[in-house]
Amino acid sequence: MRYAEAQYGEHAIAIGVFTPGDAVTIQLLDLATDALVPLDSAVCSESAQIPGFFYWSAANVTPPYPTGFHQCLYVMTNAAGRTHAGKLVIGGYPSDSAKRRFQEAVYIDVANGVAGTAFDIGTPENPVNNVADARVIADRENLKTYRVNGAISISTDHLDWTFEGVEPTDDYVTFAAAANIEGSQFLNIGIRGDLLGSITAKECLIGTSGGTVTGLSGTFVTCGFDGVIRPLPASLNGQVQGLDLASQNANIVAPGTVLDFNSALCIIRGEFKGIWKVRNIVHPAAIVAMIGAGLDLTLESTVAGGNFTLLGVGELHDLSTSVAAMNDAMVRGSRVNEVWDGTVGTRLVDQTSDPAQWKLRVRKGDDDSVTSHSFDLADGDGDPISDANPLTQFIGERTRI
């Protein structure tokens, strides 16, 4: 017996042998519940080609067609009371061909799909055009993945789902705050709206220019960010961490991409590049830990708390009122030519008006004061450094030794 379900166009068949011309009917008993299964028609058909052979299709089970595995006893009876009994399975497992048709996901195409839930709607060849029908299909097929072409909105819980985009520049999903998306994964798709739950995202665009994403939490890899991003507070188990996080707003004068802590205790860690601004940080335990990879970071005047750790390469514009702690080891353009001595903070800073004379500035460790000293340089032969005997030659000679 091949197990099948009605949505695939396949139905179990009961067969019995009676006297040709008999009037034969059937009863179906669910062996798990010992209850009769309601039927639209109990009449069995006789084969025209093989008289005396009668058959009945489970397509005549009263809708909604049972899903899941159902073992049934069928009893076929003629007018004289003679019976034929057997076992029939309705519901059960979908056929391999039908399962392959979905490719483990429900396909949504907002512009070119169709409405409805009947098989084969939701397959790659015949995508559905709305989320409500897509969810019905997904639940029926025991699937938890959407492949999306277009823009959709979600207002119901989708825990541990996968959202994949087809056209990364045009596909996005907007969430309402009522939708719990804890544990969901996003790939190659835009994410907008009010989020509830920690997620993972790869190669996604978070937010939109002029828009706000609230409740962001999770792990993000190679993602772009735009607009205003409000992280989920740590009190709600929120934390944003990631690798290769890029601001999509490249205008230094405009706000750039804004991380708005909304006066809550939020935690952000990761590798950032592009133009970012942080605002509304007042909680002393808030954390901003950034590894700059071409980072332009502004602390706005609404920053009056928080712990900052800055590494990598970038620029910092500190307009904050105060911070709880600032650990700034980020290499900036103004520091590129600095040579540090790890013990006393010594660095070779700049050439004076005399091409042979250089300044050595020493920062004292106890009071952070700075003293400057001028000195002459000579090459390995004792000749003064000059235009004819430049410092680059001196360094080159020393390197070869």
Answer yes or no: do 34 and 72 share one domain.
yes
- 305, 371: one domain: no
The answer to whether residue 144 is domain-embedded is: yes
Co-location of 310 and 369 in the same domain = no
Specify whether the backbone of 290 is left (phi greater than 0), alpha (psi in -120 to 50) or beta: beta
Structure tokens of 323?
Answer: 């911070």
Is the residue at 1 inside a domain? no
Residues 101 and 82 in one domain: no
Can you give the pLDDT at residue 325?
Answer: 95
From 316, 335, 354, give the residue that closes a domain: 335
pLDDT of residue 354: 54
Residue 197, classified by CB atoms within 10 Å of its CB into exposed (0-12), middle (13-18) or buried (19+), is buried
Domain count, the chain: 3
Residues 261 and 149 both lie in one domain:
yes
> Residue 363: what pLDDT?
47
Q: Judge if 202 and 331 occupy the same domain.
A: yes
Residues 351 and 320 in one domain: no
Looking at residue 108, its pLDDT comes to: 97
Same domain, 183 and 294: yes
Domain membership of residue 138 (yes or no) is yes
Q: What is the CATH number of the domain that holds 18?
A: 2.60.40
pLDDT tens across the length of the chain (401 residues): 444 555 556 678 999 999 999 999 999 999 999 999 999 999 999 999 999 999 999 889 987 766 667 899 999 999 999 999 999 988 765 555 556 788 899 999 999 999 999 988 999 999 999 999 999 999 988 899 999 999 999 999 999 999 999 876 679 999 998 899 999 999 999 999 999 999 999 999 999 988 999 999 999 999 999 999 999 999 999 999 999 999 987 665 566 799 999 999 999 999 999 999 999 999 999 999 999 999 999 999 999 999 999 999 999 999 999 999 999 999 986 554 444 444 444 444 444 555 555 555 554 445 555 555 555 556 556 666 665 665 544 343 333 32
Asked, for residue 340, whether it belongs to a domain, the answer is no
Q: Are residues 54 and 172 in the same domain?
A: no
> What is the structure's pLDDT at 376?
58
Residues 389 and 262 in one domain: no
Instruction: Kindly state whether residues 40 and 63 are assigned to the same domain.
Output: yes
- Residue among 224, 221, 184 at smallest CA distance from 213: 224
Q: Are residues 192 and 126 in the same domain?
A: yes
The reported pLDDT for the residue numbered 177 is: 83
**3-state SS, one letter per residue, for the chain:** CCCECHHHCCCCEEEEECCCCCCCEEEEEECCCCEECCECCCECEECCCCCCEEEEEHHHECCCCCCCEEEEEEEEECCCCCEEEEEEEEECCCCHHHHHHHCCCEEEECCCCECCCCCCCCECCECECCHHHHHHHHHHHCCCEEEEECEEEECCCCCCCEEEECCCCCCEEEECCCCCCCCCEEECCEEEEECCCCEEEECCEECCCCCEEEEECEEEEEEEECCEEEECCHHHCCCEEEEEEEECCCCCCCCCEEEECCCCCCEEEEEEEEEEEEECCCCCCCEEEEEEEEEEEEECCCCCCCEEEEEEEEEEEECCCCCCEEEECCECHHHCCCCCCCCCCEEEEEECCCCCEEEEEEECCCCCCEEEEEEECECCCCCECCCCCCHHHHHHHHHHC
Residue 341 resides in a domain: no
User: Residue 363 falls within a domain, yes or no?
Assistant: yes
Q: Which of 307, 335, 363 is the last residue of a domain?
A: 335
Has residue 212 been placed in a domain?
yes
Last residue of a domain, one of 312, 335, 358: 335
224 inside domain: yes
| Domain range enclosing 138 | 96-335
Compute CA 274 distance to the chain's CA centroid, rounded to the nearest angstrom: 21
